[in-house]
């Protein structure tokens, strides 16, 4: 085999190797980067109760154990923000929950929503019961 043919084979093998490595990089990056860009990383829990001075109590957080708040009191309409904090690639599912209890015996409407920052409603619940409880949750899975 002459030197010219040998150089041609080496050059062809190098091109194939570069193509294979580039393809692997594209596949691996699409598995990690694209899902992290499309998964929900922040939610807003909104509590709305007719009668602005009507009291309620909330417990909320995420099931990863990163955040858990309970026994927080409020009245009327309020919002609570939860940010996802489990790393840059967000490979696991993320579940957020809220439980709100009316603290009076009225039939005023209590509405609890979990929303994206753009206002898209991910989960919603409501009650008019005396001392009613609303439980909502949302999972990215």
pLDDT in tens, 20-42: 776 777 766 555 555 445 567 78
Q: Compute the average pLDDT of residues 100-128.
A: 94
Quick one: pLDDT at residue 69?
81
Residues 20 and 71 in one domain: no
Residues 134 and 116 in one domain: yes
* Distance of alpha carbon 136 from alpha carbon 75, whole angstroms: 19
Six-digit token string for 109 = 């409407």
Quick one: pLDDT at residue 63?
75
pLDDT at residue 81 greater than cutoff 60 = yes
Q: How much is the mean pLDDT over the chain?
A: 80
Percent of the chain exceeding pLDDT 70 equals: 71
Residues 48 and 117 in one domain: yes
Residues 32 and 86 in one domain: no
- What does the pLDDT look like over 45-62, one tens digit per residue? 999 988 768 899 999 988
Cβ-proximal residues to 39 (8 Å cutoff; 6+ apart), any chain: 84, 90, 94, 140
16: containing domain: 1-38
Quick one: pLDDT at residue 15?
73
Percent of the chain exceeding pLDDT 90 equals: 40
Residues 66 and 15 in one domain: no
């Amino acid at each position: 085999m002459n030197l010219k043919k040998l150089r041609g084979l080496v050059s062809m093998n190098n091109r194939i190797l570069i193509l294979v490595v580039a393809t692997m990089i594209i596949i691996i990056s699409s598995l990690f980067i694209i899902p992290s860009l499309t998964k929900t990383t922040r939610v807003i829990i909104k509590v709305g109760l007719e009668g602005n001075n009507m009291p309620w109590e909330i417990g909320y957080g995420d099931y990863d154990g990163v955040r858990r708040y309970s026994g927080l009191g409020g009245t009327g309409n309020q919002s609570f923000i939860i940010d996802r904090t489990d790393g840059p690639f967000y490979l696991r599912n993320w579940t957020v929950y809220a439980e709100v209890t009316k603290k009076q015996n009225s039939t005023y409407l209590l509405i609890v929503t979990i929303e994206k920052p753009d206002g898209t409603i991910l989960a919603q619940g409501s009650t008019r019961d005396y001392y009613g409880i609303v439980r909502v949750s949302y999972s990215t899975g």
